[in-house]
């Protein structure tokens, strides 16, 4: 109904959030079942109303721009009938409730020397609430007065609900406290495990004041002393802020749950989650765990018991159907942030958004300008580059997609896309299960190059580095038993099974050994018919439909060394190739070119009706013509086209075995590839990929030669020296005139 239609009868629509909107009621003819038209009351008004589409109707809820959740339909009605866990007897209404765990007083590590630090100034707003809290804790037996020589400064913290909590700055004490062997579980591992459950219903239980439930042995208490208004207190229970408190608390809760034979759950210190396929199943699991905890002496706040629900928050993450999502309140908080004014504020902002980096493609690249201003060696200068990065990462957070769920089984395809970028390796993990029309993302990762990796590593080494980091991350998400399809831009798996690293490598032997050990070990898991890692070529771009076929497995080939690593005897047999295409009138004109660095001349060929990729393949034929004509013993090709590089590194052999067909259809430009394949059998050809995007300040001789052939391949150059035996004065003159730092065309 258009918004400019208004009825006579006024009506007020109230929402679940308490707000209301003044609208009007009118009658209009409409068909609700598709074949009969009847008059129905319609609500409309002066402003355009939000119309819910079929996607929201199927989902059963809608979140408005303010983050409010509107539930409706059958699912919403059913949810009203579900008995919440918080209705069980036992959980307390008192927000300050403190229990006492029925265990022996705990012997904890004692500091190796006395620590006495003066109290620093604290927030004035906290004085009255903290005084009240200290008196309450003393009456509950959580703290008591002492004459200990130790002292640590108080550190009041305002909670998200506005209340003040008493913590103590134990950093000095932590430095002199002996270590413990036990530890809390890794939060990221718990998230991956919860993703793998793909549950429909959840419930969470948060133990109230969990640290204060755990009694300490008398001889361990003096080290925790602090001062308030001239009186020294210490903790009789486990304090917050001490480095071993989370470990001890987690272990005691875990022991209580194990002894009580708790149903399947995940626990992170005092936070517990259960899941299942129905609300009734989750309710029974949660009820059992609450009973175990109460019998052991733990206290539970009623307000901290959530569910059963189809959507819940755990470990700061919103969970729905096994998918991890950024909570709406976090999105709104980040979107409302103002630009930082100093290094500390920038670091705080990066800390907030960095927690969600797995949801953001190319996160490291986006925030690189922000990280730059936080470095000690750099002054804080907020410029246009930083502002753009700040706004972009906020938008990425707002539009971040859900990750997961992680599914398992022989029919599930796990595909890893590693890539070596200019600033560092990136990789993303996708999954497709039977019945899925699209792949689902499991995570995005990125990092910057470390040390001399960007400057020294060859293109192949950078791709191997990306694959190595990707395999490591993927094994944490899907485990080491699941088969992984590795889809790099450049074949890398073959290098891992060679007896030794190539002579042209720049990474250390130890680094190569590390790469080989991880990837080969992962690849050898499973059976010969189903290896742990299978390197593939795939047409599946991120977010698109994809199919993985067995015949798409890639063979490997050796890579040519960087041009500056060739000997003086090898350089005469090196050629740079390129191709381009442009529209001239109503026709497409292509041009292929070859450049010899030692002879400083180019050879070119032109034609109509084809693409730049076709021209790049023709350039390879030109290079082969030269090598055959002059009877070269070997040919080293340098190209900025990944398509050409991958074809010569291995695709040709696969295409030949498949009778030059792919998925039952002839491959593109089959006659050209057949000609090239036949000629490669008679000549040793090595290929090196050249990065076309290099600033002038970092351009090497290899990049400069790539610029030469790039210029020679431009179709607007109407004349070029085609005489291979003499100097190309015209081409050199043209190049000398307009060489102004062209950064190379986009790599294929």
The DSSP bridge pattern shows strands 61-63 and 69-71 to be: antiparallel
How far apart are alpha carbons 235 and 142 in whole angstroms?
6
Q: Which residue has the higher pLDDT, 354 or 98?
A: 354
What are the residues whose beta carbons fall under 8 Å from the beta carbon of 175, sequence distance 6 or more? 115
Query: Is the CATH number of domain 124-320 3.30.70.270?
Result: yes
Q: Which residue has the higher pLDDT, 316 or 63?
A: 316
What are the residues whose beta carbons fall under 8 Å from the beta carbon of 484, sequence distance 6 or more? 414, 415, 416, 471, 474, 478, 522, 532, 533, 534
Using pLDDT thresholds of 50, 70 and 90, give the confidence band for residue 178: very high
pLDDT at site 663: 64
Give the residue-averaged pLDDT of 169-197.
87
Q: H-helix or E-strand containing 9?
A: strand 9-14
Query: At 228, is the secondary structure helix, strand, or coil?
Result: strand
How far apart are alpha carbons 441 and 404 in whole angstroms?
6
Name the token pair of 27.
């009658």
pLDDT of 245 over the 60 cut? yes
Structural domain boundaries in the chain: 9-80, 124-320, 326-398, 413-552, 563-738
Report the 10 Å Cβ neighbour count for 570: 16
CB 84 within 8 A of CB 201: no
Domains 124-320 and 326-398 are alike in CATH topology: yes
pLDDT at site 53: 52
pLDDT at site 542: 37
pLDDT for 671-704, tens place per residue?
898 899 888 888 889 988 887 666 666 678 888 8
CB 576 within 8 A of CB 711: no
Give the residue-averaged pLDDT of 548-563.
53
How far apart are alpha carbons 25 and 7 in whole angstroms?
5
The CATH code that applies to domain 563-738 is 3.30.420.10
C-alpha distance from residue 467 to each of 421, 458, 524 (Å): 12, 14, 16
Q: Which residue has the tokens 């771009």?
A: 541
> Where does residue 615 rank: exposed (0-12), middle (13-18), buried (19+ CB within 10 A)?
buried
Global pTM value: 0.63
CATH second-level architecture of 326-398? Answer: 2-Layer Sandwich (3.30)
CB 502 within 8 A of CB 559: yes
Q: Which of 330-344, 444-458, 706-720 tops mean pLDDT?
A: 330-344
- CATH T-level fold of 413-552: Ubiquitin-like (UB roll) (3.10.20)
> Where does residue 435 rank: exposed (0-12), middle (13-18), buried (19+ CB within 10 A)?
exposed
R_g over Cα of the chain: 33
């Amino acid at each position: 109904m258009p918004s400019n239609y208004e009825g006579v009868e006024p009506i007020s629509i109230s929402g679940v959030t308490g707000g209301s909107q003044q609208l009007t009621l009118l009658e209009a003819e409409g068909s609700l079942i598709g074949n009969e038209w009847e008059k129905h009351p319609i609500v409309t008004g002066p402003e355009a109303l939000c119309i819910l589409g079929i996607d929201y109707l199927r989902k059963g809820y809608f979140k408005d721009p303010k983050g409010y959740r509107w539930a409706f339909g059958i699912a919403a009605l059913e949810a009203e009938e579900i008995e919440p866990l918080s209705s069980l007897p036992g959980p307390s209404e008192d927000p300050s409730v403190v229990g006492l765990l029925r265990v022996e007083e705990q012997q904890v590590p004692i500091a190796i020397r006395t620590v006495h630090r003066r109290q620093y100034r604290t927030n004035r707003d906290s004085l009255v609430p903290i005084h009240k809290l200290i008196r309450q804790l003393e009456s509950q037996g959580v703290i008591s007065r002492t004459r200990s020589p130790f002292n640590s400064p108080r550190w009041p913290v305002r909670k998200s609900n506005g209340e003040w909590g008493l913590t103590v700055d134990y950093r000095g004490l932590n430095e002199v406290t002996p270590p413990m062997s036990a530890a809390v579980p890794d939060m990221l591992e718990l998230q991956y495990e919860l993703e793998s459950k793909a549950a429909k219903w959840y419930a969470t239980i948060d133990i109230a004041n969990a640290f204060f439930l755990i009694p300490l042995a008398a001889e361990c208490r003096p080290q925790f002393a602090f001062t308030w208004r001239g009186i020294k207190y210490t903790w009789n229970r486990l304090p917050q802020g001490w480095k071993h408190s989370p470990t001890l608390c987690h272990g005691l809760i875990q022991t209580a749950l194990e002894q009580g034979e708790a149903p399947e759950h995940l626990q992170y210190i005092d936070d517990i989650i259960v899941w299942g396929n129905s609300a009734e199943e989750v309710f029974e699991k949660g009820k059992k765990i609450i009973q175990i905890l109460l019998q052991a002496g733990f206290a539970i706040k009623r307000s901290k018991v959530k569910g059963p629900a189809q959507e819940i928050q755990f470990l700061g993450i919103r969970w729905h159907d096994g998918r991890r999502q950024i909570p709406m309140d976090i999105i709104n908080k980040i979107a409302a942030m103002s630009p930082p004014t100093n290094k500390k504020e920038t670091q705080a902002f990066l800390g907030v958004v960095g927690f969600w980096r797995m949801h953001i493609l190319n996160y490291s690249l986006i925030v690189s300008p922000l990280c730059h201003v936080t470095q000690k060696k750099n002054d804080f200068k907020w410029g246009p580059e930083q502002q753009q990065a700040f706004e972009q990462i906020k938008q990425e957070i707002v539009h971040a997609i859900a990750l997961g769920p992680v599914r398992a089984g022989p029919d599930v395809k796990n595909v890893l896309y590693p890539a070596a970028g200019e600033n560092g390796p990136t990789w993303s993990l996708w999954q497709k299960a039977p019945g899925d029309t699209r792949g689902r993302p499991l995570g995005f990762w990125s990092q910057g190059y470390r040390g001399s990796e960007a400057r020294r590593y060859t293109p192949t080494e950078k791709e191997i580095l990306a694959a190595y980091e990707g395999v490591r991350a993927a094994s944490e998400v899907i485990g080491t038993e699941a088969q992984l399809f590795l889809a790099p831009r450049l074949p890398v798996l073959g290098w891992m099974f060679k007896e030794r690293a190539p002579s042209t490598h720049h990474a250390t032997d130890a680094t190569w050994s590390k790469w080989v050990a991880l990837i080969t070990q992962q690849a050898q898991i499973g059976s010969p018919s189903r290896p742990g890692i299978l390197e593939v070529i795939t047409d599946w771009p991120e977010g698109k439909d994809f199919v993985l076929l067995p015949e798409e497995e890639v063979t490997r080939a050796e890579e040519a060394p960087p041009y500056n690593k060739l000997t003086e005897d090898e350089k005469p047999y090196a050629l740079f190739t390129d191709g381009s295409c442009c529209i001239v009138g109503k026709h497409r004109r292509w041009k292929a070119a070859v450049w010899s660095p030692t002879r400083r001349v180019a050879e070119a060929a032109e034609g109509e009706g084809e693409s730049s990729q076709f021209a790049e393949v023709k350039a390879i034929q030109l290079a082969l013509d030269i090598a055959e004509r002059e009877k070269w013993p070997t040919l080293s090709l340098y190209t900025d086209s990944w398509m050409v590089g991958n074809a010569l590194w291995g695709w040709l052999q696969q295409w030949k075995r498949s009778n030059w067909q792919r998925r039952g259809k002839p491959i593109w430009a089959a006659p050209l590839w057949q000609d090239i394949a036949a000629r490669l059998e008679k000549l040793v050809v090595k290929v090196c990929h050249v990065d076309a995007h290099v600033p002038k300040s970092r351009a090497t001789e290899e990049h400069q030669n790539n610029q030469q052939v790039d210029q020679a391949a431009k179709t607007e150059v109407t004349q070029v020296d085609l005489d291979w035996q003499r100097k190309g004065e015209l081409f050199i003159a043209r190049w000398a005139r307009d060489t102004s730092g062209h950064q190379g065309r986009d790599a294929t």
